[in-house]
Amino acid sequence: MPPLSGLLKFAATQYTALPLVPTNELCAGKTFIITGANTGLGYEAAKHLVQCSSSRVILTARSADKGKAALSRIEKETGKTGIAEYWNLDLASYESIKKFAKEVQALDRVDAIIENAGVALTEFTTAEGLETSLTVNVTGTYFLAVLLLPKLKETAKRFGIQPRITIVGSGVAFIIPGKLEAVESDYLEEMSTEASGMGMRYPASKLLQFYIFRTLAEQNRVEQTGVIINLVNPGMCYSELNRNMPLKMWIMSQTMRLFLARSTEVGSRTLLHGAFAGEESHGKYFSECVDKTDQLPDWVNNVSGKAIQKRVWDSLVKQLNIAQPGCI
């Protein structure tokens, strides 16, 4: 597809009207967890869930100050107290994830977790032995999903419902065909060397995230677990995701956002759609609140793509079983 044609198609999708799913009836008595909810899409999604009188909405953030400030703002803006809570969670720390998961086990129920937290970094740093954005966007995200899956299964069986795990992905995952084919050894380890470069790190982390999502859904079918696992692409939205970009890239990003970005509130609707989507959404990729699995690039589904997906999964399993032996 020519670049101009692709840009026009992208622009058209950005102006698609998105539905607002939650209602008081859908949220009544339910408990939701949203990671990275102190700002941006996560914050707006949490606010909607509070407005719809959910029983409990748990906001997570790395910073207690920012998390508590977000909680205060939501209560002020919605006029509802006693629904939202702030819980600390740092996806760059496996100990933080384990502590959080243990606390979740004590809850009466969990109806959906929206894994929204993520980072877009341009400078090389490490966390838990991996490049930091890989730890947060990939291993930390799925370590949390794996540790919370038993609670979601328990909720499904106890209440006769289908809880959701909604992973917040990105369409930029599919702008880098061939990027992972060049990796010859363990994906997470090889991409965690400084020599691997940070130029396309965010799209690469989102592609890894997508491949793992697909395998996780395949290995945890709804009829076996009672849990729906889906992935949503919010599109280009106003958020703080580009806060770590170099000035030149930041200016370019802000210019594109000026003409094409969705508001943070509109973008949050894609997260909520995933958290309420039906069984047919399991293992599916959503963009504009529509199943677009069949529109994924051919290279994601061909023989090479499936082989890469298996290697990516094996790399994740290796890392998570180091973090907590036998967890997956």
Reading the block at residue 309, the tokens are 């997906």
Which is the catalytic residue, given 86, 206, 211, 285?
206
Residues 225, 149 contacting (CB under 8 angstroms) = yes
Number of C-beta neighbours around residue 242 at 10 A: 16
Backbone phi and psi for residue 47, each to the nearest 5 degrees, phi listed first = -65, -40
Cα–Cα nearest to 269, from 51, 18, 46, 34: 18
Cα–Cα nearest to 203, from 219, 221, 179, 185: 179
Task: Please state at what angle helix 201-219 crosses helix 303-323, rounded to 10 degrees.
Answer: 90
The Cα-based distances of 153 to 54, 167, 229 in angstroms read 20, 17, 12
Evaluated on CA atoms 180, 185, 188, 191, the torsion sign reads negative
**What's the N-to-C CA distance of the chain in angstroms?**
40
47 a catalytic residue: no
Which is the catalytic residue, given 86, 202, 211, 238?
202
Reading the block at residue 171, the tokens are 């369409």
206 a catalytic residue: yes
The runs of H, that is alpha helices, within the chain are: 3-14, 24-27, 40-51, 64-78, 94-105, 132-134, 141-159, 187-190, 201-219, 222-225, 247-260, 264-276, 298-301, 303-323
Question: Which residues does the annotation mark as catalytic?
Answer: 202, 206
